[in-house]
Amino acid sequence: MTRTTKITLGAALFAVLASLVVALTATSGGAQAEAQTGAQTAAQPPTRHFVANLKGSTAPFALGYTLADKSSVSSLSSLPAGVQSVFWLGQKCPTPADSSFKAKIDALASNPKVFAYYLSDEPHIGDCPGGPAALRSRADYIRAASGGRQKSFIVLSKVADYKPFAPASSHVDLVGLDPYPCSIAHPQCDLSKIGEKVTAARAAGVPLTAIVPVYQAFGQERTTSHYYNQPTAAQEHAILTEWKRLVPSPVMDYTYGWGNQSSANPTLVDSVALQNVFATFFATGR
Protein backbone atom coordinates (compact mmCIF):
# COMPACT_ATOMS: atom_id res chain seq x y z
CA MET A 1 0.00 0.00 0.00
CA THR A 2 1.43 3.37 -0.95
CA ARG A 3 1.91 6.25 1.39
CA THR A 4 -0.66 8.26 -0.59
CA THR A 5 -3.24 5.50 -0.18
CA LYS A 6 -2.56 5.32 3.57
CA ILE A 7 -3.06 9.09 3.86
CA THR A 8 -6.31 8.93 1.87
CA LEU A 9 -7.69 6.10 4.01
CA GLY A 10 -6.63 7.91 7.17
CA ALA A 11 -8.37 11.06 6.07
CA ALA A 12 -11.53 9.12 5.24
CA LEU A 13 -11.50 7.40 8.64
CA PHE A 14 -11.00 10.72 10.36
CA ALA A 15 -13.97 12.19 8.44
CA VAL A 16 -16.21 9.28 9.48
CA LEU A 17 -15.18 9.64 13.14
CA ALA A 18 -15.76 13.39 13.01
CA SER A 19 -19.25 12.85 11.57
CA LEU A 20 -20.06 10.42 14.37
CA VAL A 21 -18.91 12.92 16.99
CA VAL A 22 -21.05 15.67 15.43
CA ALA A 23 -24.07 13.37 15.29
CA LEU A 24 -23.67 12.29 18.90
CA THR A 25 -23.21 15.89 20.01
CA ALA A 26 -26.31 16.97 18.12
CA THR A 27 -28.32 14.11 19.59
CA SER A 28 -27.13 14.95 23.09
CA GLY A 29 -27.84 18.65 22.54
CA GLY A 30 -31.28 17.85 21.19
CA ALA A 31 -32.04 15.67 24.19
CA GLN A 32 -30.88 18.43 26.52
CA ALA A 33 -33.01 20.98 24.66
CA GLU A 34 -36.02 18.68 24.86
CA ALA A 35 -35.41 18.17 28.57
CA GLN A 36 -35.14 21.91 29.12
CA THR A 37 -38.31 22.52 27.11
CA GLY A 38 -40.07 19.86 29.14
CA ALA A 39 -38.87 21.46 32.36
CA GLN A 40 -40.06 24.85 31.20
CA THR A 41 -43.44 23.42 30.23
CA ALA A 42 -43.72 21.70 33.59
CA ALA A 43 -42.85 24.96 35.34
CA GLN A 44 -45.39 26.95 33.30
CA PRO A 45 -48.76 26.96 35.10
CA PRO A 46 -51.69 26.04 32.88
CA THR A 47 -53.63 28.90 31.35
CA ARG A 48 -56.56 30.00 33.46
CA HIS A 49 -59.86 30.48 31.63
CA PHE A 50 -62.00 33.47 32.62
CA VAL A 51 -65.63 34.04 31.60
CA ALA A 52 -67.71 37.08 32.50
CA ASN A 53 -71.41 37.69 33.18
CA LEU A 54 -72.13 34.36 34.86
CA LYS A 55 -75.19 35.77 36.63
CA GLY A 56 -75.04 32.96 39.17
CA SER A 57 -74.58 30.15 36.66
CA THR A 58 -72.12 27.36 37.45
CA ALA A 59 -72.44 25.66 34.05
CA PRO A 60 -69.25 27.20 32.61
CA PHE A 61 -67.10 25.40 35.18
CA ALA A 62 -67.99 22.07 33.56
CA LEU A 63 -66.60 23.43 30.28
CA GLY A 64 -63.18 24.10 31.80
CA TYR A 65 -63.51 27.69 32.98
CA THR A 66 -61.45 28.27 36.12
CA LEU A 67 -61.97 32.00 36.69
CA ALA A 68 -65.28 33.71 37.37
CA ASP A 69 -66.22 37.35 37.67
CA LYS A 70 -67.18 38.30 41.22
CA SER A 71 -67.85 41.60 42.91
CA SER A 72 -68.79 40.67 46.48
CA VAL A 73 -66.83 38.95 49.21
CA SER A 74 -69.80 36.79 50.16
CA SER A 75 -70.00 35.29 46.66
CA LEU A 76 -66.45 33.94 46.79
CA SER A 77 -67.37 31.07 49.09
CA SER A 78 -69.75 29.69 46.44
CA LEU A 79 -66.92 29.02 43.99
CA PRO A 80 -66.15 25.30 43.63
CA ALA A 81 -62.73 23.78 44.21
CA GLY A 82 -60.27 24.71 41.50
CA VAL A 83 -62.12 27.91 40.56
CA GLN A 84 -60.95 31.40 41.53
CA SER A 85 -62.25 34.87 40.83
CA VAL A 86 -61.31 37.92 38.86
CA PHE A 87 -62.73 40.36 41.36
CA TRP A 88 -64.38 43.45 39.90
CA LEU A 89 -63.06 46.73 41.25
CA GLY A 90 -63.27 48.41 37.87
CA GLN A 91 -63.56 52.01 36.85
CA LYS A 92 -63.86 53.39 33.33
CA CYS A 93 -61.46 56.16 34.32
CA PRO A 94 -59.32 54.83 37.18
CA THR A 95 -58.71 56.98 40.21
CA PRO A 96 -55.72 56.65 42.57
CA ALA A 97 -55.81 54.08 45.35
CA ASP A 98 -57.62 55.68 48.26
CA SER A 99 -58.40 54.40 51.75
CA SER A 100 -61.57 52.66 50.56
CA PHE A 101 -59.73 50.79 47.81
CA LYS A 102 -56.91 49.83 50.15
CA ALA A 103 -59.36 48.51 52.74
CA LYS A 104 -60.97 46.26 50.10
CA ILE A 105 -57.59 44.91 49.02
CA ASP A 106 -56.48 44.39 52.63
CA ALA A 107 -59.62 42.31 53.24
CA LEU A 108 -59.02 40.13 50.16
CA ALA A 109 -55.23 39.99 49.87
CA SER A 110 -54.91 36.62 51.59
CA ASN A 111 -58.09 35.10 50.13
CA PRO A 112 -57.14 32.10 47.97
CA LYS A 113 -60.29 32.55 45.89
CA VAL A 114 -59.03 35.84 44.42
CA PHE A 115 -56.64 35.40 41.50
CA ALA A 116 -56.82 38.92 40.07
CA TYR A 117 -58.63 42.26 40.23
CA TYR A 118 -60.39 43.70 37.20
CA LEU A 119 -59.39 47.35 37.53
CA SER A 120 -60.59 48.96 34.32
CA ASP A 121 -62.60 48.01 31.24
CA GLU A 122 -61.52 49.83 28.08
CA PRO A 123 -60.18 53.10 29.51
CA HIS A 124 -59.19 55.73 26.93
CA ILE A 125 -56.24 58.03 27.45
CA GLY A 126 -58.03 60.91 25.74
CA ASP A 127 -60.82 60.79 28.30
CA CYS A 128 -58.64 59.80 31.22
CA PRO A 129 -55.12 61.27 31.05
CA GLY A 130 -54.52 60.48 34.71
CA GLY A 131 -55.55 56.86 34.29
CA PRO A 132 -52.10 55.26 33.95
CA ALA A 133 -50.79 56.92 37.12
CA ALA A 134 -53.95 56.00 39.01
CA LEU A 135 -53.67 52.39 37.90
CA ARG A 136 -50.03 52.40 38.95
CA SER A 137 -50.99 53.26 42.52
CA ARG A 138 -53.66 50.55 42.53
CA ALA A 139 -51.52 47.84 40.94
CA ASP A 140 -48.60 48.61 43.23
CA TYR A 141 -50.83 48.39 46.31
CA ILE A 142 -52.23 45.02 45.21
CA ARG A 143 -48.74 43.68 44.58
CA ALA A 144 -47.48 44.82 47.97
CA ALA A 145 -50.53 43.72 49.96
CA SER A 146 -50.70 40.26 48.40
CA GLY A 147 -46.98 39.65 48.21
CA GLY A 148 -47.32 39.42 44.42
CA ARG A 149 -49.75 36.49 44.56
CA GLN A 150 -52.71 38.41 43.18
CA LYS A 151 -52.73 40.12 39.79
CA SER A 152 -54.04 43.38 38.40
CA PHE A 153 -55.97 43.24 35.12
CA ILE A 154 -57.35 45.71 32.57
CA VAL A 155 -58.85 45.41 29.09
CA LEU A 156 -57.91 47.80 26.27
CA SER A 157 -59.84 48.28 23.04
CA LYS A 158 -58.07 51.07 21.15
CA VAL A 159 -54.51 50.89 19.84
CA ALA A 160 -53.98 54.50 20.93
CA ASP A 161 -54.36 53.35 24.54
CA TYR A 162 -51.79 50.55 24.39
CA LYS A 163 -48.67 52.59 25.07
CA PRO A 164 -49.98 54.90 27.83
CA PHE A 165 -51.60 51.96 29.66
CA ALA A 166 -48.82 49.43 29.03
CA PRO A 167 -47.38 47.76 32.16
CA ALA A 168 -44.31 50.01 32.15
CA SER A 169 -46.60 52.98 32.84
CA SER A 170 -49.61 51.47 34.59
CA HIS A 171 -47.75 48.67 36.44
CA VAL A 172 -50.67 46.32 35.77
CA ASP A 173 -49.79 42.64 35.42
CA LEU A 174 -52.22 41.59 32.71
CA VAL A 175 -53.66 43.42 29.70
CA GLY A 176 -56.64 42.05 27.77
CA LEU A 177 -56.94 42.80 24.06
CA ASP A 178 -60.41 42.58 22.54
CA PRO A 179 -60.36 42.58 18.74
CA TYR A 180 -63.80 41.18 17.99
CA PRO A 181 -63.47 39.86 14.44
CA CYS A 182 -67.07 38.82 13.65
CA SER A 183 -69.49 41.56 12.60
CA ILE A 184 -71.89 42.60 9.87
CA ALA A 185 -68.92 44.32 8.24
CA HIS A 186 -66.99 41.02 8.38
CA PRO A 187 -69.56 38.21 8.26
CA GLN A 188 -66.79 35.63 7.67
CA CYS A 189 -64.83 37.08 10.65
CA ASP A 190 -61.65 39.06 10.00
CA LEU A 191 -58.98 37.15 11.92
CA SER A 192 -56.32 39.66 10.83
CA LYS A 193 -57.73 42.00 13.48
CA ILE A 194 -56.27 39.71 16.14
CA GLY A 195 -52.76 39.79 14.72
CA GLU A 196 -52.92 43.54 14.15
CA LYS A 197 -53.75 44.22 17.78
CA VAL A 198 -51.21 41.77 19.18
CA THR A 199 -48.49 43.32 16.99
CA ALA A 200 -49.52 46.84 18.00
CA ALA A 201 -49.61 45.96 21.70
CA ARG A 202 -46.16 44.40 21.64
CA ALA A 203 -44.76 47.39 19.73
CA ALA A 204 -46.30 49.65 22.40
CA GLY A 205 -44.48 47.82 25.18
CA VAL A 206 -47.04 45.24 26.31
CA PRO A 207 -44.99 42.05 26.87
CA LEU A 208 -46.28 38.84 25.33
CA THR A 209 -46.43 37.35 28.83
CA ALA A 210 -48.86 40.10 29.90
CA ILE A 211 -51.30 39.74 27.00
CA VAL A 212 -54.69 38.21 27.77
CA PRO A 213 -56.59 37.00 24.69
CA VAL A 214 -60.23 38.12 24.74
CA TYR A 215 -62.43 35.68 22.81
CA GLN A 216 -65.61 36.85 21.10
CA ALA A 217 -68.49 34.53 21.97
CA PHE A 218 -71.29 37.09 21.64
CA GLY A 219 -73.27 38.82 18.95
CA GLN A 220 -75.85 41.59 18.77
CA GLU A 221 -78.44 39.92 16.58
CA ARG A 222 -81.06 40.30 19.32
CA THR A 223 -80.22 43.87 20.30
CA THR A 224 -81.39 47.21 18.97
CA SER A 225 -77.90 48.10 17.72
CA HIS A 226 -76.75 45.08 15.73
CA TYR A 227 -73.13 45.31 14.63
CA TYR A 228 -71.33 42.25 16.03
CA ASN A 229 -72.27 38.73 14.92
CA GLN A 230 -72.01 35.75 17.20
CA PRO A 231 -69.38 33.41 15.70
CA THR A 232 -70.38 30.03 14.37
CA ALA A 233 -68.67 26.97 15.86
CA ALA A 234 -66.20 26.86 12.95
CA GLN A 235 -65.48 30.58 13.26
CA GLU A 236 -64.97 30.28 17.02
CA HIS A 237 -62.49 27.48 16.54
CA ALA A 238 -60.60 29.63 14.03
CA ILE A 239 -60.53 32.51 16.54
CA LEU A 240 -59.13 30.29 19.30
CA THR A 241 -56.55 28.77 16.94
CA GLU A 242 -55.34 32.16 15.75
CA TRP A 243 -55.01 33.46 19.29
CA LYS A 244 -53.05 30.37 20.28
CA ARG A 245 -50.68 30.89 17.36
CA LEU A 246 -49.97 34.45 18.44
CA VAL A 247 -50.10 34.06 22.23
CA PRO A 248 -49.31 30.39 22.89
CA SER A 249 -49.24 30.30 26.69
CA PRO A 250 -51.09 33.21 28.27
CA VAL A 251 -51.44 33.47 32.03
CA MET A 252 -55.18 33.65 31.44
CA ASP A 253 -57.67 34.12 28.63
CA TYR A 254 -61.06 35.80 28.73
CA THR A 255 -64.30 34.78 27.05
CA TYR A 256 -66.89 37.49 26.57
CA GLY A 257 -69.33 36.48 27.66
CA TRP A 258 -71.73 33.95 29.22
CA GLY A 259 -75.01 35.70 30.06
CA ASN A 260 -77.10 38.05 27.95
CA GLN A 261 -76.76 41.82 28.24
CA SER A 262 -78.51 44.72 26.55
CA SER A 263 -75.42 45.20 24.38
CA ALA A 264 -74.56 41.51 23.95
CA ASN A 265 -77.26 39.04 22.94
CA PRO A 266 -76.95 36.17 21.99
CA THR A 267 -74.02 34.99 24.11
CA LEU A 268 -72.29 31.75 25.03
CA VAL A 269 -75.21 30.57 27.15
CA ASP A 270 -77.33 30.41 23.97
CA SER A 271 -75.09 28.10 21.94
CA VAL A 272 -74.28 24.52 22.90
CA ALA A 273 -72.18 24.29 19.73
CA LEU A 274 -69.92 27.13 20.93
CA GLN A 275 -69.77 25.66 24.42
CA ASN A 276 -68.50 22.40 22.93
CA VAL A 277 -65.81 24.26 20.97
CA PHE A 278 -64.51 25.93 24.13
CA ALA A 279 -64.68 22.73 26.20
CA THR A 280 -62.70 20.78 23.60
CA PHE A 281 -60.17 23.54 23.09
CA PHE A 282 -59.54 23.97 26.81
CA ALA A 283 -59.13 20.21 27.26
CA THR A 284 -56.96 19.46 24.23
CA GLY A 285 -55.57 22.75 22.92
CA ARG A 286 -57.18 22.02 19.55
Asked if omega into 266 is within 30° of 0 (cis), the reply is: yes
Q: For position 1, what pLDDT does the model report?
A: 44
Q: For position 43, what pLDDT does the model report?
A: 63
Alpha-carbon span 286 to 207, nearest angstrom: 25
Domain ranges of the chain: 1-44, 47-284
Please, what are the averages of pLDDT over each run of 10 residues along the chain (286 residues)? 40 41 39 40 81 96 98 95 97 97 98 98 98 98 98 98 98 98 98 98 98 98 97 98 98 98 98 98 97
Considering the domain delimited by 47-284, tell me its CATH architecture. Answer: Alpha-Beta Barrel (3.20)
Nearest residue to 213 (alpha-carbon basis) of 255, 171, 272, 185: 255
Q: For position 231, what pLDDT does the model report?
A: 98
pTM: 0.85
Alpha-carbon span 278 to 272, nearest angstrom: 10
E-only strand ranges, the chain: 48-51, 67-70, 84-88, 114-121, 151-156, 174-177, 211-216, 252-256
Q: For position 76, what pLDDT does the model report?
A: 97
Angle formed at CA 243 by CA 241 and CA 247, multiple of 5 degrees: 125
